[in-house]
């Protein structure tokens, strides 16, 4: 893999991750861009201790542009985009409208393909492998920033989830604090005196909720799934984040990750809205109790029906799932690829 880093017109960093060592990419951004705005304000909720980022500048970000105005497509002729090359494999760049920036962290965009009409499920196994390398690279680099406490890699897919750009892409948030979900998990591990994820994974690997597996990874619907179709993909060996995966583990992760997105789309024969969230250890704490895993879940519960987070979930965090995890796992296994 060839890695090329350049500066965009407003000083943001862009990195090409090319599958061929002979790739030659454009390195000059010909746009005239305004300087970056002020970073978000961080405010702590006194009732929960949760940090809220107030990022009013994000109101100006682009919202569902037509395909011929997509800022994530390659630059062509006079149409100048965020990527100043006429093609690319995988590219990562600092978000133009970040939730966190400067002393409050960093936000990056990960483009999986230059094909605007593609989706993650359409990628080749080798391209997913390149994405994994890019996530490891960014996790390592962002973890070195003194203001960063946790690196979160994810993909939002579908208007039902709230995407603002259709181009196949994910994001990376380098948080200046440990996120509430991770903080709560670590607190429970410390109380129990064990690695709770490893304990759960051992039980799930022997159960009826397994969807697919290979030598290094297992995909399963968790016992207490919150969403109608929710999948975990976890390595058999405890690793804290993407940087600790071996080349062999990344090789075996790529086809399973791809397969899971294809199985979701095969459930009802429609493009499934989903969130693919990589849970990683904090940078400086709890790494011995953390376990890297992908949580992939959809809000679609049936053709034409969505699970909305209404009063109990949104207001009280009290979850109700209309589909049993065992039923969901069976349905996902039965999808013909």
Just list the catalytic residues: 169
Task: Identify the bridge partners of residue 278 per DSSP, sorted by sequence position.
Answer: 153, 294
User: Quick one: CA torsion of 300, 306, 310, 315, rounded to 10 degrees?
Assistant: 20
Tokens 């709560």 correspond to 184
In angstroms, the CA 37 to CA 57 distance is 7
264: left (phi over 0), alpha (psi -120 to 50) or beta: alpha
Which residues touch 61 (CB under 8 Å, ≥6 apart)?
96, 97, 164
In angstroms, the CA 280 to CA 58 distance is 26
Which residues touch 282 (CB under 8 Å, ≥6 apart)?
149, 150, 178, 182, 186, 290
User: Quick one: CA torsion of 198, 203, 204, 208, rounded to 10 degrees?
Assistant: 180
Tokens 């459930």 correspond to 267
């Amino acid at each position: 893999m060839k890695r090329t880093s350049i500066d965009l017109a407003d000083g943001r960093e862009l990195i090409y991750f090319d599958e061929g060592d002979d790739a030659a990419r454009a390195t000059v951004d010909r746009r005239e861009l305004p300087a970056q705005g002020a970073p978000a304000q961080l405010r702590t909720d006194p009732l929960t201790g949760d940090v809220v980022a107030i990022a009013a500048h994000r109101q100006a970000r682009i919202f569902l542009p037509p395909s011929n105005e997509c800022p994530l497509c390659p630059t062509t002729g006079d149409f100048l985009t965020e990527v100043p090359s006429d093609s690319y494999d995988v590219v990562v760049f600092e978000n133009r409208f970040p939730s966190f920036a400067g002393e409050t962290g960093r936000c990056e965009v990960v483009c999986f393909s230059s094909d605007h009409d593609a989706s993650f499920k359409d990628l080749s196994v080798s391209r997913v492998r390149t994405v994994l390398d890019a996530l490891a690279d960014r996790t390592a680099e962002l973890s070195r920033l003194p203001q960063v406490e946790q690196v979160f890699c994810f993909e939002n897919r579908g208007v039902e989830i709230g995407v603002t750009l259709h181009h196949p892409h994910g994001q990376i948030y380098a948080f200046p604090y440990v996120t509430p979900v991770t903080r709560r998990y670590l607190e429970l591990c410390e109380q129990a005196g064990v690695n709770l994820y490893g304990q759960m994974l051992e039980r799930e690997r022997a159960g009826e909720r397994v969807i697919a597996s290979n030598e290094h990874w297992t995909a399963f619907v968790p016992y207490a799934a919150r969403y109608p179709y929710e999948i975990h993909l976890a390595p058999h060996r405890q690793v804290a984040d993407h940087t600790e995966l071996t080349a062999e583990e990344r090789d075996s992760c790529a086809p399973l990750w791809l397969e899971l997105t294809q199985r979701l789309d095969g459930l009802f024969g429609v493009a499934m809205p989903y969130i693919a969230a990589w849970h990683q250890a904090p940078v400086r704490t709890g790494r011995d109790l953390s376990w890297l895993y992908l949580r992939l879940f959809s809000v679609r519960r049936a053709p034409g029906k969505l699970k909305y987070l209404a009063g109990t979930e949104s207001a009280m965090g009290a979850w109700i799932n209309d589909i049993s995890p065992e039923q969901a796992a069976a349905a996902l296994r039965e999808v013909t690829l």
